[in-house]
Amino acid sequence: MPPRRVITGRSQEPRKRFAEELRLLRVERKLTFRALGDALGWDGSLFSKMEKGETLGGPEVIQALETYYGVPGLLLALWELALGDPTQFKERYRRYMSLEAEAVNLWHHAVSVLPGLLQTPAYARTLLASGGLKGEELDEQVTARIGRRELLSGDDAPRFRTILSEMVLHTRLGDPGAWREQLEYLLTLSERPNITIQVMPASEGIYALSSTDVMFLRLVDGRTVAWVETFHTGELVTDATAIERLQLGYDHVRDLALSPVQTQKLILKMLEESQCDPST
């Protein structure tokens, strides 16, 4: 069957189409970003970022826009398609991203860097640039990574637990202000009911998964798959025996890790120390 002919001339890529529709609705009503923000109770810069594709916004914002514009169901449908759009990511990650968008529970362990779902734009840019990305490609990947954070927002967001090696929190960004912003963001996220953050103390020495970054995804059909990652590449693991071995290691790590409350206190202490450090 030949591909469907594009009639409207609008983008067929979910994220771009979502941004286009937002702009069309606003422009048709001759609204500035500030006027739209005043009407809905959000800062106008949020709507600017949404139209630029820098963020997708949360479901509360989308529902408010639908009510204001009188287009029930339209924007939410486009938002859901944009949120689950895997084409924004590198080819080898696309299958994983599709599964991540469908997951009902996520369990994660980090060896040296924060997971993408918890990164600020400055952290994501620094990390991606260290891997060789630059220019427009770097900008696109930063935008795509930050857009993924919407997965953890909203009433139907999946539960997410991450256990961070203490080394993650000692690997600072070069910009002190950006690093403090990242620590503050972690504290904010740790207050969300669906997010649990724990730290694995360095004093425990070598432990199970001490050299392995892994994300477990519990899917709607009850299956669990895992994404095992190194600095250069990642592998989707679907074999039940291999996943069971990884999960046993994860259970061991969780038993040794600081509690969520202890972790919050540690991050807060690091934040306070960074603010008092005369070198920053």
pLDDT digits (tens, 9 = 90+) for 179-238: 999 999 999 999 999 999 999 999 999 988 888 899 999 998 899 999 998 655 678 888
Other Cβ atoms less than 10 A from the Cβ of 249: the count is: 17
In degrees, to the nearest 5, what angle opens at C-alpha 107 toward C-alphas 105 and 108? 145
User: Is there a contact between 198 and 254 (Cβ–Cβ < 8 Å)?
Assistant: yes
Closest CA to 189 of 83, 133, 115: 115
pLDDT at 265 over 50: yes
What's the full length of the chain, in residues?
280
Q: Which pLDDT value is given to residue 244?
A: 93
pLDDT at 11 over 80: no
pTM for the model: 0.68
User: Is there a contact between 217 and 98 (Cβ–Cβ < 8 Å)?
Assistant: no
User: How large a percentage of the chain has pLDDT more than 70?
Assistant: 89
Closest CA to 150 of 99, 215, 82: 82
C-alpha 196/C-alpha 214 separation (Å) is: 16
C-alpha 271/C-alpha 165 separation (Å) is: 17
Which residue has better confidence, 111 or 235?
A: 111
Q: Backbone dihedral region of 110: left (phi > 0), alpha (psi from -120 to 50 degrees) or beta? A: beta
Q: pLDDT tens-digit profile of 162-185?
A: 999 999 999 999 999 999 999 999
Tokens of 268: 């807060």
pLDDT at 91 over 70: no
Among 98-102, 105-109, 167-171, the range scoring the smallest mean pLDDT is 98-102
- Which residues is 108 bridged to in the sheet? 162, 215
How many helical (H) and strand (E) elements, i.e. helices and strands, does the chain have?
A: 12, 6
Q: Which pLDDT value is given to residue 61?
A: 83
